[in-house]
Amino acid sequence: MSVAAPPDEAHGVAGPSEVATPGLERQAERAKARQGFLLGLPAIIYLLVFFVIPLGVVVAYSFATRTRSGRTELRDWNLNAYARLGDDIVLTVAWRSLWVAALTTVICIVLAYPLAYFISTRSAVTRNLLLVGIMIPFWSNFLIRTYAWRVLLDSDGLVTQMVQATGLGDGRILFTTNAVILGLVYGYLPFMVLPLYAAIERIDWSLVEGARDLYANGWGAFRRVVWPLSKPGVVAGSILVFVPSFGAYVTPAILGGNKEGLLGSYIVLQFLSARNGPVGSAVSVVVLVVMLLGTLLYFRSGGKNL
Amino acid sequence: MSKGVARSTAEPQGLSRWWLRGHSLLVFVFFYAPIVVLFVFSFNDSNAVGNWKGFTFGWYEAFLDNDNVQKSIWVSVKVCLFSTVIAVVLGTASALALERFRWWGQKAFDAVLYLPIIIPDVTMAVMMLVFFGEAAEWFNVIPGVDLSSGLEKLVLSHVAFNISFVSVVVRARLANLDASMEEAAADLYANRWQAFRRVTLPQIMPGVIGGALLAITISLDDVVVSSFVAAVGATPISVYVFGMLRKGVSPLVNSVSVVMLTASISLVLASLVFSRATGSGREER
C-alpha cells in the first residue's frame, strides 16, 4: 500500500514513463492477483466446505466420545479410539493390509517394468496405440473389472478349470487373500505401467550406448544405467499402487473372504455395522497419514504430476 | 535420426528380446481377457455364472425388464450430469486461476486440490458420511434444500472429487498454450471476459471436454463414496450392482456389467481422443 504511487500521479502519466512504471506495474500486478483469487474463489469455497471441513470432522470424530447407543458425540475429547488401534484384531488387519499392499506393489513392478520398457522401445505410432491399450483399463469401471475375475475364478470358471487341467492344484482361490491380491494387481497394474513408461521413455539412450561401448554387457548396462535412471518411475508407480491397495475396500468385498478383512473393510464395518465412529475415524486418519507420507515421498522423488 | 539409433540400442538382442515381447503380450492378455470373458458370458444361457451352456439374449432382456436397474441408471445419469456441470465450471475456473495468475494462498490451494485425487475412496466416503451426518441440520436451514433424498448428497460429494480431476486436465492443456494470444487480445482492447470467451475458451475447449468426460466416467463408476451417501430409493447403478454382487451372483449382473463397461470404455476413448487430438496430455497422469 505505502509503496504504490498515488492514484492521480499514476494515471496522469500516459506514456511509458520510467518513474511511474513501477507503481503502475505493481498496481496491475495486484489487480491481476485479485482477479486470479476471485476466479479460484468458488472452487476454494467448495473444497473448504465439502472437503476440508469433512476432513476436520473425521479428525474430530477420532477424538470424540461414543455413547452407549452407538452415536458419536463431539465432547469429552479423548484418545480411546487410538488406544483401540493397539488391539490384536486391529493390528492383525493392519498387518495383513500392509503385507497385501506390499506384495501387490512388488508383483506390479515385476509385471509392469518389462512392459513399460517394451513400449518405450516402439515407434511413435505403436507406442501411442499401446498406451491407449493401457489407458482403457486405467480409467474404465473398476468394480466391473474386479467382478470379471469372479466369473473367471468361479468354482467352474475358466481359470479354475485351466489350473485344474494343468494339475497344479484345485485352483480354488476365490474368497481368499490370494484372490484379493490378484484383483488388486489387475486393478492397479496400469497405475504402475504409466509412470514407469514416463520414466523409461525419458532416458537418454546414448548413455546406454556409451556403457555398451565401454564393454558393459546388456545386463550390466541395464543394472548400472537404465535401472537407476528409471527409479523415479518405480517410486511413483509404487506409491500409486501401494496407497489405494492399502485402503482397498471394493476388491476384498468382491473377491475376498469374510474372515480375512483389510483396513478398508474394517473402517466400513466400524461405521456401518459396529456403529463405532471414533474407532472408524481413527483408522481412517491412520490410512490418511500413510497416504500423505507416500505422496510427500512421491514429490520428494521428483514426481510432478499424478 | 540419432534417437532412432539410440532406440535400437535400447531394445535387447537375441533371447531377451523375445522374452520381452512375450511378456508384454501376456500382460495385455491379462488386461483384456477378463473383459472378453465377461462379455461372452453375458450371453450365457445358464443360471450359473461360470460354465457355458449356450447362447441367449435373455440376460439383456432381463436387464431391460428390471425396473430397479432402470431406476438406478436414471439416478446415476442425473447425479453425473449435475455433478459434472458444476465440477467443470469450478474446475476450469480454478485451473485458469492457478495457471494464469499469481496470488496469495495459491500454493496451499494447489496442494488441497490434489488431495481428492489421491485420498483413498474409503476415507473420502467416511468424510462425506460423517460430514452429512453432522451438517444435515445446517443445510436444512437453506430453503429448497433437502438432503434426505440422497440425490443432493450424491451430487455434492461427486463434485468434491471431480473438481480436482477437471482442474488437472484443463491445466495440462493450459500449460501447453501460449499466453501471448490472450495478451494480444487484451492489447486490442478486448476486456477480460471477451478475451476469455473469444481466445482462451476455444483454445482450452479440448481440455474442458476431456475433463468433462473424465468427470462423467468417474461419477458413473464411483461405488464407495456413493454407497456411503446414497439414500434408500435413490441408489446409483454402480451401488446397485455392488449390492447384487455381495448378495450372490445372478447372470443378470453380467449383462448390466457389460453395458456399464461399454459406456465406461466409450467415455474413456472419447476423452482420450479429445485431449490427445490436440496434444494435451492425459499421458501426464
How many Å apart are CA B162 and CA B216, to the nearest integer? 9
Instruction: Name chain B contacts of A267, Cβ cutoff 8 Å.
Output: 122-123, 126
| Residue in A115, A144, A243 closest to B261 by CB | A144
Q: Quick one: closest CA in B to A44, which residue?
A: B109
Q: What is the pLDDT of residue A20?
A: 53
> Mean pLDDT over residues B159-166, rounded?
95
Instruction: Name chain A contacts of B21, Cβ cutoff 8 Å.
Output: 118
pLDDT at B59 > cutoff 50: yes
With a pLDDT cut of 70, the percent of chain A lying above it is: 91
Q: What is the pLDDT of residue B284?
A: 40
> Mean pLDDT over residues A204-233, rounded?
83
Q: Quick one: closest CA in B to A119, which residue?
A: B24
Q: How confident is the model at residue B123 (pLDDT cuts 50, 70, 90)?
A: very high
Q: What is the pLDDT of residue B207?
A: 86
Q: What is the pLDDT of residue A304?
A: 53
Q: How confident is the model at residue B276 (pLDDT cuts 50, 70, 90)?
A: low
Q: How confident is the model at residue A5 (pLDDT cuts 50, 70, 90)?
A: very low
A contact residues 227-246, partner B, Cβ 8 Å cutoff:
243-244, 246
Higher pLDDT, B11 or B73: B73
Q: What is the pLDDT of residue B275?
A: 66
Q: What is the pLDDT of residue A291?
A: 83
Q: How confident is the model at residue B73 (pLDDT cuts 50, 70, 90)?
A: very high
Q: What is the pLDDT of residue A303?
A: 56
Instruction: Name chain B contacts of A198, Cβ cutoff 8 Å.
Output: 283
Q: What is the pLDDT of residue A146?
A: 92
Q: What is the pLDDT of residue A137?
A: 85
pLDDT at A222 > cutoff 90: no
Mention every residue, 6+ apart, whose C-beta is less than 8 A from residue A196.
A109, A112, A113, A116, A230, A233, A234, A237
| Residue in B16, B34, B121 closest to A149 by CB | B34
Instruction: Name chain B contacts of A51, Cβ cutoff 8 Å.
Output: 112, 115-116, 127, 160
Query: For the segment A180-206, what is each residue's pLDDT rounded down to a tens digit?
Result: 999 999 999 999 999 899 889 888 888
Q: What is the pLDDT of residue B17?
A: 86
CB contact under 8 A, A254 and B117: no
pLDDT at A302 > cutoff 70: no
Higher pLDDT, A161 or B219: B219
What would the DSSP string read from start to end of chain A?
A: --SSPPHHHHHH--S--TTTHHHHHHHHHHHHHHHHHHHHHHHHHHHIIIIIHHHHHHHHHHTSEE-TTS-EES-S--SHHHHHTTSHHHHHHHHHHHHHHHHHHHHHHHHHHHHHHHHHTS-HHHHHHHHHHHHHHHHS-HHHHHHHHHHHHSTTSHHHHHHHHHTS-----TTSHHHHHHHHHHHHHHHHHHHHHHHHHTS-HHHHHHHHHTT--HHHHIIIIIHHHHHHHHHHHHHHHHHHHHT--HHHHHHS-SSS--HHHHHHHHHHTS--HHHHHHHHHHHHHHHHHHHHHHHHTT----
| Residue in B24, B120, B160 closest to A118 by CB | B24
Q: Which residue type does B208 have?
A: V
Q: Hey, is B44 helix, strand or coil?
A: strand
Lowest mean pLDDT across A133-142, A156-165, B115-124:
A156-165
Q: How confident is the model at residue B282 (pLDDT cuts 50, 70, 90)?
A: very low
Task: For chain B, give the mean pLDDT.
Answer: 85
Q: What is the pLDDT of residue B278?
A: 52
Q: What is the pLDDT of residue B247?
A: 77
pLDDT at A15 > cutoff 90: no
Query: For the segment B197-213, what is each residue's pLDDT rounded down to a tens digit?
Result: 888 888 889 889 988 98
CB contact under 8 A, B121 and A244: yes
Q: How confident is the model at residue A282 (pLDDT cuts 50, 70, 90)?
A: very high
Are the C-beta atoms of A148 and B34 separated by less than 8 Å? yes
pLDDT at B1 > cutoff 80: no
Query: For the segment B6-52, what is each residue's pLDDT rounded down to a tens digit?
Result: 555 667 777 888 999 999 999 999 999 999 998 998 898 887 766 78
Q: What is the pLDDT of residue A259?
A: 74
Instruction: Name chain A contacts of B192, Cβ cutoff 8 Å.
Output: 35
pLDDT at B283 > cutoff 70: no
CA distance A12 to chain B (A): 20
Q: Which of A14-18, A219-223, B14-18, B154-158 has the highest mean pLDDT?
A: B154-158
Higher pLDDT, A168 or A287: A287
Q: What is the pLDDT of residue B78?
A: 95
Q: What is the pLDDT of residue A118?
A: 94
Q: What is the pLDDT of residue B101?
A: 87
Task: For chain A, give the mean pLDDT.
Answer: 85
Higher pLDDT, B38 or B186: B38
Query: For the segment B76-101, what is each residue's pLDDT rounded down to a tens digit?
Result: 999 999 999 999 999 999 999 998 88
User: Which letter does DSSP use for residue B117 in this model?
Assistant: H
How many Å apart are CA B195 and CA A300, to the nearest integer? 38
User: Which letter does DSSP use for residue B51 in this model?
Assistant: S
Q: How confident is the model at residue A301 (pLDDT cuts 50, 70, 90)?
A: low
Q: What angle do CA A258, A259, A262 make, to 5 degrees?
A: 85
With a pLDDT cut of 90, the percent of chain A lying above it is: 41
Q: How confident is the model at residue B137 (pLDDT cuts 50, 70, 90)?
A: confident
CB contact under 8 A, A267 and B126: yes
> Mean pLDDT over residues A197-223, rounded?
82
The model's pTM is 0.85
